[in-house]
Amino acid sequence: MANRTGALEQPAAAGARATSLWGDAWKRLIRNRLAVVGGVIVLILFIFLFFGPIIAPYPYQEQHLQDVLANGNRPIGPFQGKYLLGTDNFGRDLLSRLLDGAQISMTVALVVQAVVLLIGLPIGAAAAWYGGRVDSILMRFTDVMYAFPDLLFIILLSVTFRETALGTALNGVLLVFVAIGIVSWVGMARLVRGQLLSLKETEFVEAARAIGVSDFKIITRHLLPNALGPMIVSITLGIPGAILAEATLAYLGIGAQPPRASWGKLVVDGQQYLRAEPHMVILPALFIGMALLSFTFLGDGLRDALDPKLKGKQ
């Protein structure tokens, strides 16, 4: 949403100072305490993505029914015995399941933004570079995508392709990711277009054209690197929306199928035990909240750090 209203037309910093620009941005970023905390949590989440199954004390789907029976047939609470964060009603270790959920959520973050880039970047770049009819057709198309009710379209896509190869890949997880990406690329396309439109008129682009550099090379070597800052910010700030959409769909039973443990699914599982064993809902809710906040803080920090308008202030 912010992309539509944000600083689409601001001039980018001059290319010649690229290295010092990134250096300055880095200095501003690490001075921002919230952004640093967000960044550290994001790093930890990425560690969970790659090493989650190794860190997890048990396989996420392994049931320990004996221990649940010994507990009076109730989920085991946190900090009791051998399960650090307790278990669910099947005696599945909650920490291990939360780590599996982290893996799902972080894959969402990566796959969705990859789809957003793959679709949004070429469309935005083509619209800006060729202008005229190409521009108006592509932008009309983004108008249509913009009018789609997001979650409804994701649900429709995931039902339509449920039985295809894409739909069954990774327990149904991949399809939902791609569907979320397909409804999310419009903001990126508009952002890239806005950035490129203003860069296109600069003298270094004119110079590159004059000496006969090809269109493709001008776009990839001269235009996109200069538009990188706002794109990084947009990608980072788009991730919480994608994670939230996946959790919401999992809550509705769409996407990751059992025994996989999406955070949204963990909330559903814990719902019926909420009064007796609140940890089953509180813990996944905390993990969701932490992931949403860390990306938001990091994205805000990146925006402040990369925005040349704020230079020297604060």
For other proteins, the binding residue among 1, 16, 54, 211 (CB under 8 A) is 1
Question: According to the binding rule CB under 8 A, does residue 292 interact with other proteins?
Answer: yes
C-alpha to C-alpha distance for 203 and 68, rounded to whole angstroms: 71
Question: According to the binding rule CB under 8 A, does residue 169 interact with other proteins?
Answer: no
How many helices and strands in the chain, by DSSP H and E? 14, 0
Tell me the sheet residues that pair with 87: 93
CB nearer other proteins, residue 47 or residue 268: 268
For other proteins, the binding residue among 235, 267, 283, 305 (CB under 8 A) is 267
Burial of 186 (0-12, 13-18, 19+ CB in 10 A): buried
Site string for other proteins, 223-242 (x = CB under 8 A): -----------------x--
CB nearer other proteins, residue 131 or residue 289: 289
C-alpha dist (Å) from residue 93 to 52, 67, 72, 81, 105: 13, 11, 17, 12, 19
C-alpha dist (Å) from residue 32 to 199, 235, 293, 300, 304: 29, 19, 15, 10, 9
CB nearer other proteins, residue 1 or residue 16: 1
Site string for other proteins, 123-162 (x = CB under 8 A): --------------------xx-xxxx-xxx-xxx-xx-x
C-alpha to C-alpha distance for 53 and 299, rounded to whole angstroms: 28
Query: What's the min distance (Å) between Cβ of 10 and other proteins?
Result: 13
CA angle, 82 then 88 then 92, to 5°: 60
CB nearer other proteins, residue 56 or residue 235: 235
C-alpha to C-alpha distance for 48 and 168, rounded to whole angstroms: 24
Q: Which residues are near other proteins by CB under 8 A?
A: 1-2, 4-5, 143-144, 146-149, 151-153, 155-157, 159-160, 162-163, 240, 244, 247-248, 251-252, 264, 267, 271, 274-275, 281, 285, 288-290, 292-293, 296, 313
